Every structure is written in structure tokens, then in C-alpha cells.
Amino acid sequence: MINKQYIESPILENLKVKLSYGNSIALKDFWTKIEREGTPIIESIDTDIEHQLVTFVYKGDKNIKNVVVICALEDQDDVISNNICERMDGTNLFYKSFKVLKGTRTIYTFSINNTLRYTRFYDNLIAHGDTLVPDPHNSKYFIQRYRREGKMFEVKYSVLEMPDAKPQRWTFPRHYIVPGTLKEFDFESKSLNETRKIWVYFPHNYKKIEGPYHFSVVFDGKAFIDFTQTPTIFDNLIAENKIPPVISVFVHNFSGFIRGKDLSCYPLFADFVAKELLPWVRDKYNISTDPENRVLIGSSSGGLTASFIAYRYPNLFRKVLSQSGWYGWYPGYDWFQYSIQFYGKDFVRWWTKEDEYETEWLTKQFYKKERLPIKFYINVGNLETRAIPHVRNFKNMLEEKGYTYYYEEYPGGHEYIAWREYLPEGLIYLIGNE
């Protein structure tokens, strides 16, 4: 396989040749073409029909020491080591090339004069937020907000969209479809001993006397509303008769360390969903009593939690839509053990000493138990260097135990722009009318 690091962009090679022969206007012509055609530059790779060469370019000045492409195209957990741009000798042109699987849609941004001290993605965002700039020659953007360690900030990403990327058929509002309603509530939970914010979606023309309606619970609810456009996806799928009308609850999960309190196989959070949230929705709205008509939806740790709650309450929930689920989690995981100090006095340490050493804990629990009546849709991006081995192991468990499931590895990363693209597929597979 051709190594990404050693592939040179033919367009930039040609520019270098022209400059070496003293063509003084070659660089100006290059930037004129970039302004007209946009970026990044996408070129074919000889002998490789599955990938294309993507080259990011940035027009710098004398004050720029370095330019880093913050993206997941080399390593999900290291956005520095292989992402530093080269500067073409004697020019203002910074560039970096990657070999990218066809069909990929992912996000990126430039960090200008990065300190190069922090390789991890979130560390870089926190330390270098003021150095980030979107690609000035790319008109496609994806805006995402973060809250980390008490800091709230927004990043305007550029979008790398390969020419044959999957069409986003369901993710944008359609003028001829009347949207559903989204209501916000403050829910008092005895299990969690706190008030939790939730949002309830119900479709256009909802009537309590009709139904009963399918039901779903979405974790990281605010993010799924804002970045995945899940209410719009519901609107479109329902209007086109791809899925039946659905009542959905979006649960707010806190960010940073506190998020892990909810979404790391926490029994009290599972009790909150099963024993408090579900009965409340059942009393307020006409949802189905059939667990086959209920879906748990989450990404990353939310995907792990969706699987855990179904495992714990298969009599109540029998459909799981898990995107990039963090199945590598276990009670002895270093990050989790460190985070516990922030969880508060009400946190219950529920695991045993044996559990602390049982890696891929939830996968092992499923192995130990007889097959449950649960149907799964699971996926993971090919760029997810950390998550993909654990998701594959969970999929292998489902195969060995005889579960009904659909598994997909999509061309993309651990990102909402990818999750929104494949969420409709999961809904159609689990509760579709076809």
C-alpha cells in the first residue's frame, strides 16, 4: 500500500518545477486558480482506485511559523505529528497531502502558529482556539460548539467532501414538509438526584388519540438536535413514509468529565431512563407499549450507553442505534478512574474489583448472557483509529451470539457530520416501513 507521507501532489510538483526555472508568475497563477476553483486539491493516485490524494493549501505571510491541519485523516488521537504543513521554498505556500478513501466526508481546520505541545484533539482545541481558522477557499462549513473543563467555545470547520461522498438526502429541511414540534422540559430525577433538561419531539399532526407511536431516546440530546439535525431527519423520514411517526426524547448529557458519569454503563442513569423517563413519556404521550417499537440512540459513549440500557432492560427496549460506540470502556479505564473525582457525592461505585480488569466490559457481559431479543444497527468510521477495533469486537460478539444486526464501516471520522449522514440508515433498518 502506498504510504500517504510519500505521495506528492502532481499539481504542486509542477509548480515547483516552474519556480525552479524562474517562472516568476507561476505562484500568482496558482493562487488565482485556487481562488477560482476552491480547495482542497483532489487528485487521482496511480495504481490506487480506492483512494484519492487530498492536498490542503494555505496562503501565509512572513509572520507565520507553522500551519497545522487539524483533522483525523492520519490519526484520530494525534492531530500534530503527521499534520504539520510544509512550506514551499521561497514562497507563501503551506501545504499538506493525505491519501483519503473515496466517499469520505469529514471536517478540518487550520491552526496557525500552533505551539505543537498538544497532540490530542481536545487539548489542541482548548489551548489553541484562537489560532484556528477555516479554509478561506472552501465554501462548505460545519459549525460545532464545545464545552470542555468549564470553557465554552465554537469552531467553524471546513468540510472535506470527496466528489463521490454519500448524498445527504435526509439532513436538511424541505420547504414542503411541515416540521414536528420540539418542547423543552426540566425533568426532576430521583434516581440521579437532580433536575435534567430534556427535549421531546413529536411529529406534525400528532394526536394523542391516534397511534400508538414509536418511541426513541437520544443521548447527548442537545448535540443531536444542533449538529446531527435529528428532528429534521425525523420530519423527512416520516413525511416520505420511510419510518412510522415517532415520539423522541432528547436527553441532555453534560460535557467533559461529567458526561462520563451518565454514559459509562452507569446503572442509575439506566434506571432514570427505564423507570422514570419512559413512564413519564408513556403517561404524557401515546407511545407504544411494545419494546420492539422503542429505539435507544447514541454516538461514542452514548452508543455504549444505548447498548448497556438495552442489555439491562431488554423487556423495555429492543432496538439499539449505536454510532461509533465506545466499547473499549471498562471500569478500570484510566480516564474513567481519573474522572470519578468530578462526579460528586451521589455517584455510586457499582463495579467489583474483577470488573476493573475486564477490558471491553460490556462486550464481555453480552458474551456471558444468553442472547437477548435486541436488534442492533452499529457503525464506525474508517478514520477512528481508537474506536474501530472495539466496535469490531462488539460486532463479532453479535455475530457469534446470533443477534440480528447491521454493521457498517463508513468513510469518515468520529464526528457529527458523519453520524448525521448515517443516522437515517439506522432508523430505516430498525423501524423502517420497507
What is the pLDDT, as a whole number, of residue 149? 62
Q: DSSP states of 301-361 as a string?
A: HHHHHHHHHHHH-TTT--EEEEES--TT--TT-HHHHHHGGGS-TT------HHHHT-SSH
The DSSP element (H or E) to which 293 belongs, if any, is: none
Q: Is residue 151 over pLDDT 90?
A: no
Residue 161, strand partner residues: 105
Please give the share of the chain, as a percent, with pLDDT higher than 70.
98
Strand ranges, E, within 137-193: 141-148, 151-161, 181-189
What is the pLDDT, as a whole number, of residue 147? 76
Sheet holding 86-87, edge to edge: 41-45, 48-59, 93-101, 86-87
Q: Distance (Å, rounded) from C-alpha 415 to C-alpha 76? A: 11
Question: Is beta strand 48-59 parallel, antiparallel or unpaired with respect to 194-202?
Answer: unpaired
> How is residue 279 written as a grid cell?
413512564
pTM: 0.94
Q: Is residue 146 over pLDDT 90?
A: no
Would you tell me which CATH number, out of the four given (1.10.760.10, 3.30.230.10, 3.30.750.24, 2.60.40.10), belongs to the domain 4-161?
Answer: 2.60.40.10
Q: Is residue 186 over pLDDT 80?
A: yes
User: Where are the chain's structural domains?
Assistant: 4-161, 181-431
Question: Mean pLDDT in the chain?
Answer: 95
Q: Which CATH class is domain 181-431?
A: alpha beta
Q: Distance (Å, rounded) from C-alpha 432 to C-alpha 434? A: 5
Higher pLDDT, 379 or 2: 379
The single-letter DSSP state of residue 287 is B
Question: Is beta strand 48-59 parallel, antiparallel or unpaired with respect to 41-45?
Answer: antiparallel
Which tens digits make up the pLDDT trace of 319-372?
A: 999 999 999 999 999 999 999 999 999 999 999 999 999 999 999 999 999 999
The DSSP element (H or E) to which 123 belongs, if any, is: helix 121-128
Please give the share of the chain, as a percent, with pLDDT higher than 90.
90
Contact 57, 11 (CB under 8 A): no
Q: Do domains 4-161 and 181-431 have the same CATH topology?
A: no
